[in-house]
Every structure is written in C-alpha cells, then in structure tokens.
C-alpha cells in the first residue's frame, strides 16, 4: 500500500530562498507545489519533481485548491531601500498578496510558516517605520501572530538575516554579496552605501533552509530568529573581497539600518545553529575567480541641456555628482544659449563637452553632433557605461551612440510626462527604449506609463561589468529626484 506524500506549498518557490527550500522538501519526500508570480523568481531556479504554478498570492485559493499540510509563505517583495521608490508595488505584493494567503490559511487550517524580516528589529525598532518593505513585513508578522493565537491556528514566524549563497540575484532586487561578487569579477569600483559601518548578520541560504525545515517540523509561535551570530560591517565585507582604494561611497539611503538585534534562542531550542561562515564563502569564491582588472571610475553622460539651463533631471544629476567626487562624469550637451560657454562646470568631477551654436535649435543637432563628440571621447577614455539623462534628444543621442559604439546604455526618466507625446515622439521614444540596455524611472507608476507608451517592456539587460555599480548610481539618482519632488 502506497503512503500518500505530505503536501507543502511554497509561495515564492522560484526565488532565491524558495527554490532551495523546494529542493530540500522534495529531497525529504514531500510533494511540493510552488506558487510564484515571477516578479523576481526565475524558471532557471526550477527543481525537477516540484510542481510550479504561476500566479499572485492574492489568488492562492483558486490556484491551489488542495489542502496542504504546511504552507511556507516566502513570496513577498523583499528589498528595503528600493521599496521607498515603489510603495504601491510593495502594497500589492506584501499587503494584498498576504491578505490572500491569510484567508487561505484560515480556510484550510494548515500550518503556516511566515518569512518575516529582521528589519523589524533594526536600530532598536526604528527602521520598521522607514520603508514600505519594513513596515508591511512587520505588520504581516504581527497580524499572523495575532490571528494564530486568537483562532488557535498552527503557525510560526521566522526572521531572516541577510541571506547569501547560490542563486542570489543581482540588479535592482539583488543582494549585497551578489553585488560585490559582480563588481569583483568585472573590476568595477565597489559601490558602498554610506556610512559603510552598518553591520549585518550574513546567513547562508542553506542555514536558512535548515531553520525553515526545523521550524516547520517542530516550531510554533513568533520570534524564530534565523541568523548567523557573527556580524560584519559592509566595509569589512569589501575588505574580504580585496577591494582596496577601488571603492565609491554612495549617499545614505532611507531605510538602511545601522544595526539589528538578533535572538536565535527559539531556533536554537529546536536544535538549529548557523553552521556556514561568510569569510569562508568569500574566500572560496576569490580563490576560484580572478579579480577583474580595475576599471576607470568614469561615466559618459548625454544631457540635452546643462547648466545654466537646468531642470529637475539636471539638478539631481549635479547633486549626485557632487556626492561622488571620486567618479568623473563627461557630459555631452548643447550650448543651447549664447551664455552657456561662459558658465563653469558646477563640480570638479564634471567635464562639460558642448556642441551646437548657442541656440535652442542645438537640441535638434545633438543626436548628430553629440554622437560624434561621444565617439571622440570614447577613444580617449574607458567608460563604465553610457548614461542618457531623460528620454529626450539626449536619450536619442545616447541610443544612436550605442548603435555605433556598442557601449552599455542606461536611460533614466526624471519628471517626464508621456500623455502629451506626439506620434512622432512616441516613435522616437520607442526607439530609445529598444536600444537601451536598461531603462528606469523614479517610481513604478512612471515606469508603467513609459512601458505603455513605448509598447514594449522596459529593458533590464546587463550593462556588462558596470551592472552592480550602475544600479547603485541609478538608485541614488532616483532617490535624489524623489526628494526633489517631495
């Protein structure tokens, strides 16, 4: 007689931590169903033998009609600082999505294991209020605790501490260790968010999975801290990778905690301990991979106008450049007005390269004369990537420059409105978007509008060796604009 396998449902099962959990549960003999909307998950993380269903957690009752023995809820938005730029996305995934999970749990009365966030305990509890991510995760953990206790439903709340290991993500939703690995391999400068002394309890993903399985089998209640007791500052981690003077300190970020309390007593009582250490993980990585040759801290920028003719986009760029004195920016722009040639650079690390004749009509010449100037500069300097400020004439110039020079292109949007674009401008905008490697707005709503008017998904292709550094730059720029708008 065949014994029916126990059923585990894992939300976010195609993600970083979720895929490792699915793999472990399957190896332990469970039937495993993953529910993932692939916001950050990937089909590359699929584990043979696991059943994958696509959809949002708000619809879990429809997508998973079965009654599981245990439900691991890992499928939520999971980046602190980025959440400040897209609070509506966080609400959709972490509040509305988890509402659906809680309703499913109350209906099925299965055991729920919730992946809470250690940001709840950051800086003596203050950081739970500084980002949409931290706030929603804290609210969800407490709501699940209250419902579980009041209605006598089986549950446990775990708290992860800076998970690293195989299948980490890079890019916007990437992890610190993966960013450092990418910068190490490429030779790009190491981007560190100020002050650099903030400490983290870096915990290997397999230790996290060990803890989830232990809590799933024997844990009940709140406050299962899953973290390595040894903490390291971000600067200490950079030292482990061998980044010496090749560093750039970026402005502080809202929600970026300096410390975090960690209590593993309840997890330890189940027999769990973090066994794997970060220095050894990094040492194995650096032993197996050579550090890429150091690259110049230099970026080529296209801007339609520049000082003295500036708007929010240009002002925000200037403020960011002043905050990054060790990075040099070559700005290709127009004269635009007769007085421009007499206007000095607003920062010592900005070199202005003007084209045109000192007229408003210069902007029409930028896609031609600016490209010629860009090609000339690229023969003299090695750039991390090319940056087009706003999808305007500068954006078109940067797109044409990429077509000729093949330089990786980051295109950012600032205070643009797409509602008034003429059919011709919509066509040009689509051309810019299709030629860029990455296009980012200052918030999710703007990016949604941009994708609608360009009729294509905004690209997120690799910028090559400049990826991790460009992501730090892009975030700092968007955050500066956000603060300017506020």
- Position 1 in a domain: no
| Tokens linked to 188 | 């790009």
Report how far apart the first and last C-alpha atoms of the chain are (Å, whole number).
67
| Residue 466 pLDDT > 80 | no
| Residue 185 pLDDT > 50 | yes
Q: Look over the chain and give the mean of its residue pLDDT values, rounded to a whole number.
A: 92
For residue range 157-172, list pLDDT tens digits in order: 999 999 999 999 887 7
Domain end call among 257, 288, 319: 288
Specify whether 273 is located in the same domain as 305.
no
| Residue 2 pLDDT > 60 | no
pLDDT confidence of residue 1: 43
- Position 76 in a domain: yes
For a pLDDT cut of 90, what percent of the chain falls above it?
73
Average of per-residue pLDDT across 233-240: 96
| Tokens linked to 57 | 């957690």
For residue range 393-433, list pLDDT tens digits in order: 999 999 999 999 988 999 998 777 777 777 888 888 888 99
The residues near 430 (Cβ < 8 Å, ≥ 6 apart) are: 453, 454, 455, 456
| Tokens linked to 368 | 């031609």
- Position 2 in a domain: no
The residues near 313 (Cβ < 8 Å, ≥ 6 apart) are: 303, 389, 390, 412, 414, 415, 481
Domain end call among 260, 288, 316: 288
For residue range 107-135, list pLDDT tens digits in order: 999 999 999 998 878 666 667 777 899 99
- Position 326 in a domain: yes
Name 203's bridge partners: 163
pTM: 0.90
Domain end call among 288, 309, 338: 288
pLDDT confidence of residue 465: 64
pLDDT band at 4 (very low <50, low <70, confident <90, very high): confident
Specify whether 467 is located in the same domain as 330.
yes
Specify whether 124 is located in the same domain as 249.
yes
For residue range 30-56, list pLDDT tens digits in order: 999 999 999 999 999 999 999 999 999
- Position 478 in a domain: yes
Specify whether 315 is located in the same domain as 265.
no
Determine the length of the chain: 486
Specify whether 252 is located in the same domain as 322.
no
- φ and ψ of 453, to 5 deg: -80, -30
- φ and ψ of 49, to 5 deg: 100, -15
pLDDT confidence of residue 181: 94
Specify whether 307 is located in the same domain as 281.
no
Specify whether 276 is located in the same domain as 306.
no
Specify whether 284 is located in the same domain as 305.
no
Q: What is the CATH number of the domain that holds 421?
A: 3.40.50.2000
Give the span between the Cα atoms of 39 and 444, in whole angstroms.
13
Range of the domain at 146: 7-288
Specify whether 278 is located in the same domain as 314.
no
Q: What is the CATH number of the domain that holds 125?
A: 3.40.50.720
| Residue 290 pLDDT > 70 | yes
Specify whether 268 is located in the same domain as 302.
no
Specify whether 277 is located in the same domain as 335.
no
Domain count, the chain: 2
- φ and ψ of 316, to 5 deg: -65, -40
For residue range 329-341, list pLDDT tens digits in order: 999 999 999 888 8
pLDDT confidence of residue 101: 98
**Cα four-point dihedral sign 305, 310, 316, 320:** positive
Give the span between the Cα atoms of 137 and 120, in whole angstroms.
8
Average of per-residue pLDDT across 321-328: 96
pLDDT confidence of residue 338: 86
For residue range 56-86, list pLDDT tens digits in order: 999 999 999 999 999 999 999 988 878 888 8
pLDDT confidence of residue 486: 67
- Position 293 in a domain: no
Name 164's bridge partners: 204
| Residue 464 pLDDT > 80 | no
| Residue 88 pLDDT > 50 | yes
Specify whether 266 is located in the same domain as 305.
no
Strand, helix or coil at 231? Answer: coil
Complete DSSP assignment for 256-296: --S-B----HHHHTTT------HHHHHHHHHHHSPPPPP--
Average of per-residue pLDDT across 239-257: 87
pLDDT band at 106 (very low <50, low <70, confident <90, very high): very high
pLDDT confidence of residue 125: 66
- Position 318 in a domain: yes
pLDDT confidence of residue 124: 63
- Position 362 in a domain: yes
């Amino acid at each position: 007689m065949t014994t029916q396998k126990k059923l585990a449902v894992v939300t976010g099962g195609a993600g970083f931590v979720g895929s490792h959990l699915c793999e472990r549960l399957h190896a332990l003999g469970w039937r495993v169903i993953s529910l993932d909307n692939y916001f950050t998950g990937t089909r590359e993380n699929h584990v043979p033998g696991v059943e994958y269903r696509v959809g949002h957690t708000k619809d879990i009752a429809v997508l998973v009609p079965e009654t599981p023995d245990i439900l691991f809820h890992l499928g939520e938005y999971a980046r602190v600082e980025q959440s400040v730029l897209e609070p509506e996305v966080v609400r959709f995934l972490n509040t509305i999505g988890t509402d659906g999970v809680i309703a499913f749990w109350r209906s099925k009365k299965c055991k729920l294991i919730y992946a809470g966030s250690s940001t709840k305990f950051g800086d003596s509890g203050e950081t739970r209020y500084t980002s949409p991510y931290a706030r929603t995760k804290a609210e969800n953990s407490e709501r699940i605790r209250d419902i579980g206790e009041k209605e006598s439903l089986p549950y446990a709340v775990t708290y992860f501490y800076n998970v690293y290991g195989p299948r980490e993500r890079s890019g916007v939703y990437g992890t610190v260790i993966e960013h450092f690995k990418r910068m190490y391999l490429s030779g790009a400068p190491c981007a560190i968010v100020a002050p650099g002394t903030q400490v983290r309890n870096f915990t290997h993903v397999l230790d996290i999975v060990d803890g989830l399985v232990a809590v799933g089998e024997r844990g009940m209640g709140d406050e299962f801290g899953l973290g390595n007791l040894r903490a390291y500052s971000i600067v200490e981690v950079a030292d482990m990778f061998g980044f010496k003077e090749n560093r750039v300190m970026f402005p502080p970020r809202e929600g970026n905690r300096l410390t975090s309390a960690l209590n593993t007593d309840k997890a330890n009582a189940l027999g769990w301990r973090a066994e794997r250490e970060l220095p050894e993980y990094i040492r194995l990585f650096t032993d197996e991979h050579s550090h890429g040759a150091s690259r110049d801290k230099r970026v080529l920028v296209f801007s339609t106008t520049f000082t003295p003719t500036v708007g929010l986009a240009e002002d925000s760029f200037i403020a960011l450049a002043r905050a990054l004195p060790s990075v040099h920016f070559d700005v290709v722009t127009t004269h635009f007005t007769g007085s421009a040639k007499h206007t000095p650079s607003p920062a010592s690390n900005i070199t202005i390269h003007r084209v045109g004749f000192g007229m408003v009509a210069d902007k029409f010449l930028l896609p031609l004369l600016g490209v010629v100037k860009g090609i000339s500069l690229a023969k003299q300097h090695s750039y991390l990537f090319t940056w087009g400020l706003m999808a305007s004439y500068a954006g078109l110039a940067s797109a044409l420059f990429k077509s000729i020079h093949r330089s990786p292109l980051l295109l950012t949007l600032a205070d643009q409105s797409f509602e008034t674009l003429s059919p011709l401008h919509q066509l040009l905008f689509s051309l810019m978007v299709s030629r860029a490697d990455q296009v980012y707005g200052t918030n999710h709503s703007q990016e949604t509008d941009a994708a609608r008017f360009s009729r294509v998904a905004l690209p997120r292709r690799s910028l090559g060796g400049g990826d991790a550094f460009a992501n730090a730059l892009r975030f700092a720029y968007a955050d500066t604009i956000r603060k300017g708008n506020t």
